[in-house]
Amino acid sequence: MMNVQSVPSAARWQPTARQSTLKLETDERWSDFKEVLGLLRFDGKVHEMNDTTLFRRRRLKAGQSALCMGQPFDGLYVVRLGALKTSMTHVDGAEHVLAFPMKGDLLGFDGVCKNKYLSEVTALTDCDLIKIPAADLFSPGRGCNDIERMAYWAISREIVQEQSAYALSHSAKSEARVARFLRIQSERFNAMGYSPNRFTLPMTRRDIGNHLNVTLETVSRAFSALDNLGIIAVERREVRILSMDALRDFES
């Protein structure tokens, strides 16, 4: 088990030396249904425990693209390790950051409807994903399967997160948005089993700003302001939250 006080090692953004690139790519690894249920923190009922199914794992290096807009839908992915960024690119070329999926989050669910992915997913750190192939989800021959049910439960959860993120970008003041963003990040790290009071942000100021609909300078200024008030201590991407209550008060 990982030390709760420490920051997840893969969440540091410097891409490590490529000593073992080839080894990684040929090193096939698998995850079972139970592991996926655990990662997703699924709390529903499973009818017959399906321990025979194995899912292929997929590794990504920081900066690599996991999914691209327009690609045909071939399955869902669960993040096993690392941090990513989902975004949509407009016709005019402007990028919009939708979310920052991390351990236990689901990717690719926007591809079910039109049978192709509608957003881009980029790895911010080295990542380890578990793929749930489309074939396992929609096999018409099978009976009502637990995998499908689990997947849809997880999709519903992602909707809820997305709605919160949407609401996130609607506070009146920019500093309040940044404060709320930090609180939510803290809660997510906590849910993943890491420390909620000390963590390393995997994304740039620019990505945060894009996600919150403010400029990167505004994000930087908000961080500095919260630091000067003694609410947080921030040094580049290292964040410590000194007073969660003060941070929460700052949101309104």
Partner DNA sequence: CGCATGCTTGACTGAACTCAAAGTCCGTGG
Partner DNA sequence: CCACGGACTTTGAGTTCAGTCAAGCATGCG
Helix, coil or strand: residue 74: coil
Q: Which stretch binds its own copies (CB under 8 A): 14-22, 126-134, 161-169, 236-244?
A: 161-169
If the CB atoms of residues 100 and 199 are measured against its own copies, the closer one turns out to be 100
Please give, one letter per residue, the 3-state secondary structure of 96-144.
EEEECCCCCCEECHHHCCCCECCCEEEECCCEEEEEEEHHHHHCCCCCC
* Positions 1 through 40 that interact with its own copies (CB under 8 A): none
Give yes or no for residue 207 binding its own copies (CB under 8 A): no
Give yes or no for residue 214 binding DNA (CB under 7 A): yes
Tokens 């390790």 found at: 81
- Closest approach, Cβ 213 to its own copies, in A, equals 5
Structure tokens at 96: 């919009």
- Please say whether the beta carbons of 169 and 177 come within 8 A: yes
Q: Angle of helix 146-168 relative to helix 174-191, nearest 10 degrees? A: 150
- Closest approach, Cβ 138 to DNA, in A, equals 38
Partner interacting with residue 92 (select from its own copies, DNA, none; CB below 5-8 Å by kind): its own copies
Determine which residue in the list 206, 229, 246, 251 makes contact with DNA, applying CB under 7 A. Answer: 206
Give yes or no for residue 145 binding its own copies (CB under 8 A): yes
